Homo-oligomer: A and B are copies of this chain.
Amino acid sequence: MARGIVTLTTDFGLADPYVGIMKGVILGVAPRARIVDLTHQIQPFEIAEAGFVIWQSWRYFPAGTVHVVVVDPGVGTLRRPILAEAGGHYFLGPDNGVFSMIFDELPHKVREVTAEAFFLKPVSRTFHGRDVFAPVAARLARGLSPARLGKLIRDYARQEFFKPVRSGKRIWTGTVLRADRFGNLITNFRLSEFPTVATRPFLLRAGLETITRLAGTFAEVPPGELALVEGSTGYLEIVMNQASAARKLGCGPGSPLELTLY
């Protein structure tokens, strides 16, 4: 099923050549691989942010795509490299729970990647993106069978990310997952899980403000006002019309939210 696409998600930034070096390694093994950057601006070591990004993105790629995520506070320790298969895609990264949102949603198999024959030698202790993940991703992109990489495991790491918590009879406590470049605040409330937001009154507390409106799109929001829209990921986002909700509210990733349904 491999079509030779590799996506990269890291916290390496773009000022250093680390991402380019990974691409050099990939193209050395798989000269025809197509490499797509998702983002390299994950906050350093923010596994949860990387987990949200890959969950949000993988489904827009063709089946057989290899998704490499290198946000890896434990690099150089005994934490294992893993390969997960889910939804017809490959997910390659450290065993630190970064794929938990995908595991929550889809049947999946996970292998520990032990086939050191495919690693770049010597494996450095600080840059497994280059020495482990890039060459293994390239092998997969060329069609290597996952079974060649290592055995199935069951004790891989999982984390509970991003779930709203019931904190009262009709009250849920949530959080801001991300602020995007426009200042839209992606919340951890999914419209599909809180469908009455679309049909009945609600009240969302954020910062010092209260939001009571669900809009169909940004342009429907009156200037200067805050509203919710269903974002492109299915999560509700706090937005303004051509202005920054993040700045208006003083909120960002991790800011608490409280949703009351009536």
Contact = CB atoms under 8 A, between A and B. Distances in A.
A10 to B, nearest CB: 10
If over half of A's interface residues share one DSSP class (helix, strand or loop), that class is named, otherwise mixed; here it is loop
A218 B77 CA distance: 9
Interface string A178-221: 10111000000000000000000000000000000000111110
Q: What is the oligomeric copy number?
A: 3
A19 B57 CA distance: 10
B126 A15 contact: no
State which size class the interface on A falls in: 35 or more
A149 interface: no
Interface stretch (A59-67, A156-164, A168-176): A59-67
Given A73-B242, A181-B15, A36 B7 contact: no
A14 B31 contact: no
A80 interface: no
A62 B27 contact: yes
A36 B44 contact: no
A89 B36 CA distance: 24
A231 B126 contact: yes
A139 interface: no
B125 A24 contact: no
9 contacts: A5-B24, A9-B17, A12-B181, A14-B39, A21-B38, A28-B62, A75-B218, A125-B217, A126-B217
